[in-house]
Amino acid sequence: MTTPYHPPVKRSVEIAGHKTSISLEPLFWELLKTAAQAELLPINALVARIDAERIAAETPPGLGSAIRLWLVGWLAARL
């Protein structure tokens, strides 16, 4: 990737047997792939886990925002 300033890219994922589309910037797609590999999970399984945590929140954000927030927390925990 040449720049982190790229418009979101829409991709399909499957959560609990249902397909849904998520729009994330390429940087976040790369981080999600890296996190899934580190967690030894397929991307769909990691997104499903993030979705479950999001739904349990008092004021759940949208799924794209939840993924971005989870990734920032995941990175911060590794610093």
Domains along the chain with CATH numbers: 9-78 (1.10.3990.20)
- Confidence band for 23, pLDDT divided at 50, 70 and 90: very high
Q: What is the pLDDT of residues 53-67, one digit of tens each?
A: 999 999 999 999 999
Percent of the chain with pLDDT over 90: 89
Q: What is the reported pTM?
A: 0.91
C-alpha 62/C-alpha 58 separation (Å) is: 13
64 and 50 in contact (C-beta within 8 Å)?
Answer: no
Residue from 72, 77, 58 nearest 28 by CA: 72
For range 6-25, the mean pLDDT: 94
